[in-house]
Structure 1
Amino acid sequence: MSSMQRNLLIVGIVLLCLAPFAVYPLFLIKLMCFALLAASLNLLIGYVGLLSFGHAMFYGTSSYITGYVLKTWGVDGIVGVLAGVAVAAGLGFLSGLLAIRRHGIYFSMITLAFAQLVFFLALRLPFTGGEDGLQAVPRPTFLGVISTEDNLAMYYVALALVGFGFWLIYRTVYSPFGQVLRSIRDNEQRALSLGYQVNRYKLVAFTLSAALAGLAGATKVMSFQLASLADVSWTTSGEALLICIVGGLQTLLGPVVGSLIIISMEHYLAGFAEWVLIIQGVVFVLVVMLFRKGIVGQIQFKWRERALRKAASLQPR
């Protein structure tokens, strides 16, 4: 990490710590949860080349499991989070075993089919609350000492959980394992010829992505004290994909910027009712036309171009 990137990271952390004093904390938590959900999907699409249409099943399943554990057993918040993440990772492993055997649109449709199955289970299972959802989930105590009853305290706990998720993505992408994932994305046949067990790498990446989406879902249910069918709906998967495209695939900050734009539009334009979807569609079309690589991706591309031109101009002739 360069000194400039390190300075930007420090500034970002300071701003995030001060943000709840200027903006409603629960709105910020929603932004962070969707940013992590989109980042988990971006890890799969941008760095492995696997397009999932059903990532909401991990997000929603973790929400229900975490909410049920906290409401029924009254355990520490960490236990609830671990339970939700573990079940989401297990679901990712089982669904991934079948899905990774297919490529392209067939992989995407298998993930969508699994997601619809999970949606049906969430609708019919008795402990989920059906159409009413799992309500009145208690705010837990973390590590036995940190009470999250106050929204400000809940914000900082959510910030720590989401921050850990983004750190894990960063470490994954910039590791030898991440380099193998990129090689699979760019040329799967060549990766096979080099002796890599491609399906194993895909399965691990899919499971990790599911666990990260589960971490976002667990954070959401603790903050809003509700797990609903919207959490496992295909529209949530579509929204995560939209956030990735607007912010920029193959970038770490893309999901953050995309979440800030899309979720802010939903929040501040709620008074326009169904017109919100139309406005989002217009924004999406403009981004695709003007920022082919997404907002963050296009900015990074321009910076690289400028740096290459500057380096070329400094070379002796």
Structure 2
Amino acid sequence: MAPGRAVRTRGGVPVILTRLARSGRGGWLLLVAGLVAAFALPWLIYPPVALDIACWALFAASVDLLLGFTGLLSFGHAAFWGGSAYCTGLIALHTGMPFPVAIAGGAVFTALLALPIGFLSVRLSGIYFAMVTLAFAQMIYFVANQWRDVTGGENGLQGIPRELFGLDLSDSFFFYYAGLPFVLAGLFAAWRIVRSPFGRVLVSIRANPDRARALGYPVDRYKLQAFVLSAALAGTAGGVFSVGHGFASLEGVYWTTSGQAVMMVILGGIGTLWGGAIGAALIVQLQDFLATAGFAETGIITGTIFIVVVLLFRRGIWGTARHLLITRRTPATPADVAAEPKKSVDTPV
């Protein structure tokens, strides 16, 4: 671009981004950019913090699968994150199995745990569903706290091994790449779920459950399946987190863990799936920065940022960006009409 030449925009959006969004190639470019960022992350920041971002990104995606695509706000997902952390740690400590088997065992455990909880919860909606899931999560917290012989009580499980056929994964930098495939597989599974016919039904249930029921869809069954799948993804994230840090604690099953995941989803954008990763990166990095600086009341800063983002970006950070690139209708320039003769001037961005 020549010096002093202005970038052509349409409605405040650069034309090149508009064309990418119209051509369908923008999604692939974002996917490549996301993968590059995921693999480069431990080179840019402290590896344990990079692992935290990856795990919380998957956890936020699991919450968004339920909130953004099914319309169910759960404050009980800490039970699955923390429950899987304990189960994964127990398998790794007492059986000596490789950590991938332990993580898979934790994910299966949380899926089984979600069956009765979801069966009793999905018949409700709105604040009633949120409160019931919160009550079940607090029950899991009470069990983890009182069953000291198994969970370690307030001390938690410590020294969870990273066994993988004799490989030395004691360095957090190397374990990041060993645990990253689980996170990427979980994110891919979430993406396939929302893009499948099953995901379309979930969206219709979110929009109008009575109409979906009238069309013959068993609404409660679909909600239960979404709840179990979401729990399994949250359990996968919790298992990677516990092995990566070598411990499982009561904090993982406390309700504030669920609240933090919900906050990440809202910051990134509800119903965007990938917005949770942006929210996770923002919150985890900010908490690490404040903790390193010796600032104890991190909740004040994160809460303030949350309020500002909600007020300025009602769709969240990524949701607002996607809205500008995809859903905003803007007039096309003569050059764009000549380049795309088959498209209307009012084609959505």
Q: What TM-score do you get using the length of structure 1 for normalisation?
A: 0.95
1:313 match? 345
Matching of residue 3 in structure 1 with residue 25 in structure 2: yes
Matching of residue 131 in structure 1 with residue 163 in structure 2: no
Q: Where does structure 2 lack aligned partners over 5 or more consecutive residues?
A: 1-22, 333-342
Aligned-pair identity (%): 42
Note if contact 2:79-2:141 (Cα within 8 Å) is conserved in structure 1: yes
Deviation at 1:35, TM superposition (A): 1.1
Matching of residue 210 in structure 1 with residue 268 in structure 2: no
48 and 13 in structure 1: CA distance in 2 versus 1, 3 angstrom threshold: same
| Equivalent of 2:267 in 228, 246, 249 | 246
Note if contact 2:329-2:346 (Cα within 8 Å) is conserved in structure 1: no
Q: Greater helix share, 1 or 2?
A: 1
Indicate the SS of the match to 1:101.
coil
1:45 match? 67
Indicate the SS of the match to 1:39.
helix
Note if contact 1:140-1:149 (Cα within 8 Å) is conserved in structure 2: no
2:215 match? 194
Q: Where does structure 1 lack aligned partners over 5 or more consecutive residues?
A: none
> CA–CA distance in 2 between the matches of 1:84 and 1:305?
40
> CA–CA distance in 2 between the matches of 1:135 and 1:106?
36
| Equivalent of 1:174 in 176, 180, 195 | 195
> CA–CA distance in 2 between the matches of 1:78 and 1:312?
51
1:296 match? 318
1:15 match? 37
* Superposed CA offset, 1:277-308 (max 9, x none): 11111101111110001011111112224455
Q: How many residues align?
A: 313
230 and 314 in structure 1: CA distance in 2 versus 1, 3 angstrom threshold: closer
Matches within 5 A, 1:1-317: 2-125=24-147, 126-141=149-164, 144=165, 146-270=167-291, 271-307=293-329, 309-310=331-332, 313=345
Deviation at 1:25, TM superposition (A): 1.1
RMSD of aligned residue pairs (Cα, Å): 1.6
* Superposed CA offset, 1:32-84 (max 9, x none): 11111111001000000001011100000000000011011111122101110
> CA–CA distance in 2 between the matches of 1:43 and 1:207?
11
Indicate the SS of the match to 1:139.
coil
Note if contact 2:99-2:161 (Cα within 8 Å) is conserved in structure 1: no
Indicate the SS of the match to 2:247.
coil
Note if contact 2:98-2:162 (Cα within 8 Å) is conserved in structure 1: no
Range 49-58 or range 13-22, more displaced = 13-22
Task: For 1:88, give the aligned amino acid.
Answer: T
> CA–CA distance in 1 between the matches of 2:330 and 2:70?
27
**Runs ≥4 residues deviating over 2 A:** 1-4, 144-150, 271-275, 304-315
110 and 42 in structure 1: CA distance in 2 versus 1, 3 angstrom threshold: same
211 and 309 in structure 1: CA distance in 2 versus 1, 3 angstrom threshold: farther
* Superposed CA offset, 1:70-101 (max 9, x none): 01111112210111001100111110000011
* Superposed CA offset, 1:119-176 (max 9, x none): 00110112111001101111121xx365422322210122111000000000000010
Note if contact 1:85-1:211 (Cα within 8 Å) is conserved in structure 2: yes
